[in-house]
Amino acid sequence: MRDNTQPVPVGPRRSIELDSGEALRLLGSVSVGRVVFTRHALPTIRPVNHILDNGDIVIRTHEGAALTSRTREPAPSGVVVAYEADTIAPATHLGWSVVATGYAQLVTDPRELARYQELLHPWVQQTMDHAVRIRPDLVTGILLTDTDASRPAGS
């Protein structure tokens, strides 16, 4: 078993900025990320599963979820959130990380909600009757690679 208090011995590394299209493609290749929003004027982070739907990030929520109540509050364009997903290998520290920032709104159309309930299955044993759509305005990403490779494993 590895001692996580000790640094991983790695060779030379570099960080490569990704364009927004590639960053969104990578975000769509995984099913779990973290949504960041404010609650009581403080940052709150929740791990969630998602799908990418025509460039929008969609997550399922439940009635008592803090994000559900935040997106229910009246705001013309929604509530500002950030969404982060990554794949970084623990042993090598190679991979990628993507952050999408934009507005989140509760999905209220019954047909859309039914569609998302079919496409996106909760990963926790809890009733998830709501869906939140995040429309990214800013998408950034980085590729973490060694100096000799152009793509991380698993991308």
CA distance linking residue 149 with residue 132, whole number of Å:
37
- Structure tokens belonging to residue 121: 């299955």
Q: Count H helices, E strands: the chain?
A: 3, 7
* pLDDT in the model for residue 74: 62
> Please, what is the average pLDDT of the chain?
85
Residue 32 has pLDDT above 90, yes or no: yes
> 33 pLDDT band (50/70/90 cuts)?
very high
Please write the tens of the pLDDT for every residue from 1-18: 556 666 666 677 899 999
CA distance linking residue 52 with residue 64, whole number of Å:
24
CA distance linking residue 10 with residue 85, whole number of Å:
23
Total residue count of the chain as it appears in this document: 155
The answer to whether the beta carbons of residues 22 and 153 sit under 8 Å apart is no
Model confidence, pTM: 0.83
CA distance linking residue 41 with residue 138, whole number of Å:
22
Of 17 and 151, more confident: 17
DSSP structure class, residue 91: T
Please write the tens of the pLDDT for every residue from 95-121: 999 999 999 999 989 999 999 989 988
Please write the tens of the pLDDT for every residue from 45-65: 999 999 999 999 999 887 767
Please write the tens of the pLDDT for every residue from 84-96: 999 999 888 899 9
Enter the CATH code of domain 14-144: 2.30.110.10
